[in-house]
Structure formats: C-alpha cells, structure tokens
Amino acid sequence: MTKWSRAVLLMLVYVLVLAAIYVAHVRWLRVDVLFYAALEDAATAVLLVAVLVFAWRACGVFNAFEKAQLLVICALIGYALAISVPTVLDRSLSFYILEKLQQRGGGIRYSAFENVFTQEYVKEHRLVDVRLTEQLQSGTIVIRDGCVRLTPKGDALARFSRWFRMHLLPRRRLLMGEYTDELTDPFRHSAAAADYTCN
C-alpha cells in the first residue's frame, strides 16, 4: 500500500469515526448549540485518529510532520462537514422550502409563501428560541428584565457584519428575475420608529 493510499484510508477512517461520534452525540447527549457540538465531535475524532496515527504501525511510513499534516487535514474535513451538513440543514430556509413543498403535496401558491414563513416556519422551527439560544451561548447577547441586549462582542460582530454586507455582498444579485442591491442594506426601508425597543 502506497503512502498516498494510506493517507486516504486514514482520512476515510476519520470520517467514519466522526460520523459515529456525531450520531452518538445527537442521539444520547445534550446539545446546546448544534454547530459547536459538531465542532466538538470533529475535535474528538481528531484526537482519536491521532492516537491511531501515532500507535498504528501502518502509519510508520509517515514522518512526524506528515502525521501532523494528516491530522490538520482531518480537522479541516471535520470543520467543513460541521458547517456543510448539520448546521446547513438545521438553519437552511432553502431546505425548509423543499420540505414544506413536499409536506404540502408538492406545491404551494407563490402568494402564500410570506405567510408560510411568518406563520409556519418561525413556529415550527422555534426560530426565535433557537437563534437567541445560539447568541446567548456565543456571548453576543444577554437577556435582562425582558430585554435582549448586545454585549460588546455582539456589537463588534454586528458592526463587522453590517460593514461586510454593505461593501462586500453582490450589488447585482438575482432576486425573482431582477438584479438588485437590496440585500446590501436590508434596513433601507425599515420603519423609522419602532415600539419594541428597550429603554
């Protein structure tokens, strides 16, 4: 077996170990934030594979630097999978649309989609609770006396997000047959006065 094929085999072993850890975690353990849990699973799998890399005689063909590189590659695979699979499926409005269409027999009137999102999506996915829990666990907000407030960390992230949106998102993005820059400033048409702010 060549060095390359052993490296590929090791990465496949990593993916299988990660999958087993992830399934066990989501079925039998508590999860605070899905993305963070998936990252923990990826890190745990790297540690287990590291033991294999340094203990298995078949990995003796790799020098210490190559072994470290393989573990870094495994960590990157784990990170990519954590974002691309459970996190995307959990958060994706696009997948929700497909699932909702399937649930409703394969078709929903276009004119009803705003109601589907505001009346069904938010409630069915407990969207407010999920997102606020994630922000609380991330340290970007606090909730005191019924008021949700930004922390300094949250304020910095909001400033960065707003800057990125205004300067580095597409100015000619296709939205329902029309190219527009509306999503570079979604607050452009927000009401000036809102009655839900905290004192």
First vs last Cα of the chain: how many Å apart? 69
Among 90, 79, 99, 96, which residue's Cα sits nearest to residue 34?
A: 90
Place of tokens 């203990």: 55
**pTM for the full predicted model:** 0.82
Q: Hey, how many other C-beta atoms are within 10 angstroms of the C-beta on 155? A: 13
Length in residues, the chain: 199
> Cα 157 vs. chain centroid, distance in angstroms?
16
Among 45, 110, 107, 101, which residue's Cα sits nearest to residue 76?
A: 45
Residue 56 near residue 8, CB atoms below 8 Å = no
Interval 15-72: pLDDT, tens: 999 999 999 999 999 999 999 999 999 999 999 999 999 887 877 888 899 999 999 9
- 93 by DSSP, 3-state: which? helix
Interval 133-178: pLDDT, tens: 999 999 999 999 999 999 999 999 999 999 999 999 899 989 999 9
